[in-house]
Amino acid sequence: MTRIRHHTTDILVLGSGGAGLLGALHAKAGAPDLKVTVAVKGLLGKSGCTRMVQGGYNVALAAADSAERHFMDTLDGGKWLNDQDLAWTLVTVAQQRIRELENRWGCFFDRNPDGTIHQKAFAGQTFDRTVHKGDLTGIEIINRLAEQSWARGIERLE
């Protein structure tokens, strides 16, 4: 006989990749009294696509780079089949998100000797714009977001 488990929550987030965990963290920050739950088919922090990211996260941070240039590289990489509104959102929000990941959620990314975030060439970009933590960028992001989720009492259904 199969038993059905019942769980009550105010906000249910499906998936514990980077987007899911950030969504849960933002929901909890916006409404700390609400019960936030993340449902994941594996183990939180050990499954999902974000964890598999090795190369890094493309973002235009350098003074000589720009969101416009990143946008054009993104369209070229997608053979111009991309949804251009979504591609523009991707490249402009990436600048905010990388700073949030580092400054708010505690992600550590590789640095240059002058203290700026190191960026390397990757994935057909015309500029060195890949932010990384060695080849373990996804693990770094997921580990920090999972820790922050646990620290804030976000529940999980694994």
Task: Give the pLDDT score at 81.
Answer: 97
Cα–Cα distance for residue pair 127/69, rounded to 1 Å: 8
Predicted TM-score (pTM) of the model is 0.89
Task: Give the pLDDT score at 43.
Answer: 87
Task: Give the pLDDT score at 5.
Answer: 84
Q: Which CATH number belongs to the domain containing residue 157 in this structure? A: 3.50.50.60
Cα–Cα distance for residue pair 155/158, rounded to 1 Å: 10
Give the residue numbers spanning the domain of 71. Answer: 55-135
Shared domain check, 141 and 129:
no
Task: Give the pLDDT score at 20.
Answer: 95
Shared domain check, 69 and 117:
yes
Shared domain check, 131 and 60:
yes
Q: Which residue has the tokens 């708010």?
A: 104
Shared domain check, 98 and 83:
yes
Shared domain check, 153 and 125:
no
* pLDDT lower than 50: segments of the chain: none
Cα–Cα distance for residue pair 133/139, rounded to 1 Å: 9
Q: Which residue has the tokens 């529940």?
A: 155
Scored b (16 or more CB within 10 A) or e, 41-54 reads: eeebbebbebbebe
Shared domain check, 158 and 127:
no
Q: What percent of the chain has pLDDT over 90?
A: 82
Shared domain check, 95 and 85:
yes
